[in-house]
Amino acid sequence: MEEQSRYDAKLTRILRAAAAVFAEKGYHRATIRDISAATGVSLSGLYYYVRSKDELLYLIQRQCFETILESLDSELCDVTDPERRLGLLIGNHLRFFASNMSEMKVLSHEADALSGDYAKEITDQKREYSATVSDLLGALAPQARSVDLRRATFSLFGMMNWIYTWYRPDRDGPVNVLATEMTHLFLRGFAPGVQDGGSRYTNLR
Amino acid sequence: MEEQSRYDAKLTRILRAAAAVFAEKGYHRATIRDISAATGVSLSGLYYYVRSKDELLYLIQRQCFETILESLDSELCDVTDPERRLGLLIGNHLRFFASNMSEMKVLSHEADALSGDYAKEITDQKREYSATVSDLLGALAPQARSVDLRRATFSLFGMMNWIYTWYRPDRDGPVNVLATEMTHLFLRGFAPGVQDGGSRYTNLR
Amino acid sequence: MEEQSRYDAKLTRILRAAAAVFAEKGYHRATIRDISAATGVSLSGLYYYVRSKDELLYLIQRQCFETILESLDSELCDVTDPERRLGLLIGNHLRFFASNMSEMKVLSHEADALSGDYAKEITDQKREYSATVSDLLGALAPQARSVDLRRATFSLFGMMNWIYTWYRPDRDGPVNVLATEMTHLFLRGFAPGVQDGGSRYTNLR
Amino acid sequence: MEEQSRYDAKLTRILRAAAAVFAEKGYHRATIRDISAATGVSLSGLYYYVRSKDELLYLIQRQCFETILESLDSELCDVTDPERRLGLLIGNHLRFFASNMSEMKVLSHEADALSGDYAKEITDQKREYSATVSDLLGALAPQARSVDLRRATFSLFGMMNWIYTWYRPDRDGPVNVLATEMTHLFLRGFAPGVQDGGSRYTNLR
DNA sequence: AATGAATGAGGGTTCATTCAT
DNA sequence: CATGAATGAACCCTCATTCAT
């Protein structure tokens, strides 16, 4: 047991470091040597924990999704109001994003880097997550066609995922404010909301 | 004259093919040999037109920006209403995106792949474009603080740029519809707009 | 300890083989593949021992100088007579040359092939060695101006270094004879020395 | 005739420029493009005057030898005193060297770069020149064995040819002084000559 | 459980040379 | 005569991965 948990702890550390390296240089430009240097584990030593560079990426992405979907479940489970549910989802997404910038950048940016079974598994999780969002939006606009929902879903994901390219807490304010604002933007639109909506939605989270 | 235009034509063809290759495999996984195969030009022959793989990427990105900014200017020049201006901008962006998917994917996805002077020049153009959008949003919401504008600007860009990950005209409908919808989503928000906004904005373009 | 010495031994073997290849084909025409073939180490394996082709050349040249300067020190340390000191220097130089023909050809011939910091370091060592010779000549001719010493120093180096272009022990006799003769030539001149000088200087070494 | 002479003039110009480029960068590192840039002739244009890079080197080296051997003949033809003949030879060699530094550096340094028939022809000329020197030394020391002459000959060549590595007229004085000094060094040796010999030999040339 | 040593398979780039015009 | 355009053959170097220890 001890053994196992020590192994897991080290693997976790490796994944963290790898995510940081991938985030900084991009998956393909990052080398296993970079990760070796970042972790302090020898080049060949890494292969005791991980089968390949591919798997490293896969594990990072999988863990991201697991965590995000888990915490989402626990947030949504006892809320029924669609608008509040959406607010919680956006908050959950952005908060996780902000506290795991490296991992999320990797998840957003390196979607195509995976191949084979790894890719399929991650794609499936992604689809599941999308479906959750789409259903949620469906509840908000029961009359919307599935094409409309699809477009809206991915518009929302675009808004949220794109933050890895620009968001920096020190300059752009805390995540919660961002989440509140994005929620409002998505539900009520840009201009008018700035005036009155701001207060209406601060209690979303 | 003939000479020059033939040279330019071939360079254009090379850039097009290269963009396709970069879009499919990603900049780093794509090899100059791939581009050689895609263009029918020999490996070394490419270097008659381009100094390096880096420059290839730079030229693709620069041309994207030039075209997009130019056509934007000609669309906005005689329109003053802020809402209509925004609609035109979104339409311009998405239409160019949809008809140059490869190039725009490269532009959106490979922002960090450039280095040195190339990177700086593209970054500058990107900043200019962002400023245009930010100003436009400022006209829509005169009381908004610059942080708010910044967040809104990049939220909008997120919505628009993310489409390279999901949008396919055959499945998701024509760009103009997408543009109309996104404009509405951004200005009035999701749910309500589905009911009435659709018609109100179809004449934006 | 074992590890380190085995590593060093292999590096030494590589440097030896590389020197032979560089000597035969010249630095620029020699390829890393040639060296790989000559050593039996795989192409990429070489890069475990050496950072670049440049460094290979640098290491060869540096080791040459280190050895030659060290053995010179130990030869000259307890000799004060200027003529004998010169004889010992010439003997040391030529003997090392003859038993490390490849390395010395590389050192003599590929002076300009190095660049950057590598070049500077080797140039410095070269300057140090020249200064030693110049000082020694200064002791022989106290009234000589520095220009004279400079010309004489490089004339002597010319005589000595040029041998990589023609000297072959089997045809041109043992190095010691060559050294004795060059010493005499340099100190007493050509023609007269042939008659009597030969015997006078054979005991120099 | 006009045609021919214009052709020759241009070829000469090309050889001059090429020699400069080869001297600066070394034969192998110099590119035909460098020569194209240095001459102002287009890359393919050069091939109208020259069959290959090899031939370029060959022509440079051949012309060097022709000139040097010709002028040597005209200097030696009516002098019989062996010492004076040697002085004239050294003067001729060094003077030509100093006024054609690039060409002579190429001749001295790139001896091995030639291959096939080109190499053979140059080698032959080199042998002829060596034989001249050797004969001349033989006349100075009739009792010397051929091994002795060989060693002395190449020692002299070493002194003379090596100057491409160090000699700069502004710092090291005019060639004629250098020639006088080298002649004296070779005939009488270093130290004593500095005192009295200097004057005795200044009239050698 | 961990690593030093080694390698095969490319990857970007260069360069002498050619050929149609 | 001269050149713009094009190419095949290398070349140096990198990197994910393995394996003996």
Do B86 and B153 sit in the same domain of this protein? Answer: yes
Do B31 and B91 sit in the same domain of this protein? Answer: no
* Largest separation between any pair of C-alpha atoms in chain C: 58
Domain end among C25, C50, C75: C50
Do A65 and A91 sit in the same domain of this protein? Answer: yes
Domain end among A11, A31, A50: A50
What SS3 state is found at A140?
helix
Determine the Cα–Cα distance for residues D127 and D123; give it in Å rounded to an integer.
6
Do B85 and B16 sit in the same domain of this protein? Answer: no
At A192 the pLDDT is 57
The alpha carbon of residue A199 and the mean position of all alpha carbons in its chain are separated, in whole angstroms, by 27
Determine the Cα–Cα distance for residues C30 and C47; give it in Å rounded to an integer.
16
At D5 the pLDDT is 86
At D191 the pLDDT is 66
Question: Strand F: which positions are within 7 A of a protein CB?
Answer: 1-20
- Summarised one tens digit per residue, pLDDT across range B100-127 is 999 999 999 999 999 999 999 999 999 9
**Nucleotide nearest B55 (Cα, C1'):** E12
Q: How many domains does chain D have?
A: 2
Do A124 and A171 sit in the same domain of this protein? Answer: yes
Do B26 and B96 sit in the same domain of this protein? Answer: no
At D3 the pLDDT is 72
Most C CBs within 10 A among D162, D168, D200, hence the mutation to make, goes to: D162
Do D36 and D124 sit in the same domain of this protein? Answer: no
Do A22 and A61 sit in the same domain of this protein? Answer: no
Find, in chain D, the residue whose alpha carbon is nearest to that of C30. Answer: D28
Domain end among A50, A74, A91: A50
Find, in chain B, the residue whose alpha carbon is nearest to that of A29. Answer: B28
Residue pair D144/D82 in contact (Cβ under 8 Å)? The answer is no
Do D37 and D60 sit in the same domain of this protein? Answer: no
Contact of A32 with chain B, judged by CB distance below 8 Å, is answered with no
What SS3 state is found at D108?
helix
**Nucleotide nearest A55 (Cα, C1'):** F16
Find, in chain D, the residue whose alpha carbon is nearest to that of C83. Answer: D191
pLDDT of chain A, 205 residues: tens digit per residue: 677 889 999 999 999 999 999 999 999 999 999 999 999 999 999 999 999 999 999 999 999 999 999 999 999 999 999 999 999 999 999 999 999 999 999 999 999 999 899 999 999 999 999 999 999 999 999 999 999 999 999 999 999 999 999 999 999 999 999 999 999 999 999 865 443 333 333 433 3
Angle between helices A146-161 and A175-188 (to 10 degrees): 150
| B68-82, C184-198, D185-199: range with highest mean pLDDT | B68-82
Do A44 and A143 sit in the same domain of this protein? Answer: no
Residue pair D136/D82 in contact (Cβ under 8 Å)? The answer is yes
Is D185 in contact with C187 (Cβ distance < 8 A)?
A: no
Determine the Cα–Cα distance for residues D178 and C151; give it in Å rounded to an integer.
8
Question: Strand E: which positions are within 7 A of a protein CB?
Answer: 1-20
Under the banding of pLDDT at 50, 70 and 90, the label for residue D201 is very low
Virtual torsion, Cα A91, B129, B21, B43, nearest 10 deg: -140
Do B63 and B44 sit in the same domain of this protein? Answer: no
Q: With contacts defined as CB-CB under 8 Å, which chain B residues touch A192?
A: 188
Residue pair D138/D144 in contact (Cβ under 8 Å)? The answer is yes
At D2 the pLDDT is 72
Determine the Cα–Cα distance for residues B102 and B100; give it in Å rounded to an integer.
6
Please tell me the least confidently modeled range out of C110-119, D69-78, D194-203: D194-203
Domain extent, residue B110, equals 54-204
* Largest separation between any pair of C-alpha atoms in chain A: 59
Using CB atoms, list chains with 3+ pairs below 8 Å to chain C.
Answer: D
Q: What average pLDDT does the structure give for chain D?
A: 90
**Residue D44 CB lies within 7 Å of the nucleic strand E:** yes
At C41 the pLDDT is 97
The CATH number that applies at residue D177 is: 1.10.357.10
Q: With contacts defined as CB-CB under 8 Å, which chain B residues touch A163?
A: 154, 158
Determine the Cα–Cα distance for residues C194 and C188; give it in Å rounded to an integer.
10
DSSP B118: H
Determine the Cα–Cα distance for residues A32 and A169; give it in Å rounded to an integer.
30
Is D163 in contact with C154 (Cβ distance < 8 A)?
A: yes
The CATH number that applies at residue B23 is: 1.10.10.60
**Residue D30 CB lies within 7 Å of the nucleic strand E:** yes
Determine the Cα–Cα distance for residues D179 and C188; give it in Å rounded to an integer.
18
CA distances from C133 to A185, C140, C150, C203 (A): 83, 11, 9, 21
Q: What percent of chain B has pLDDT over 70?
A: 91
At B202 the pLDDT is 40
- Summarised one tens digit per residue, pLDDT across range B28-46 is 999 999 999 999 999 999 9
**Residue C173 CB lies within 7 Å of the nucleic strand E:** no
* C1' of F3 to CA of B49 (Å): 17
Cβ neighbours of residue B79 under 8 Å, at least 6 residues apart? Answer: B85, B88
Do B41 and B125 sit in the same domain of this protein? Answer: no
Chain C nearest-CA distance from D155, in A, is 5
Q: Provide the chain B residues 131-190 that lie in CB contact (below 8 A) with chain A.
A: 137, 140-141, 143-144, 147-148, 150-152, 154-163, 165-167, 172-173, 178, 181-182, 184-190
- Among candidate residues C152, A82, B116, D100, the one with its CA nearest the CA of residue A90: A82
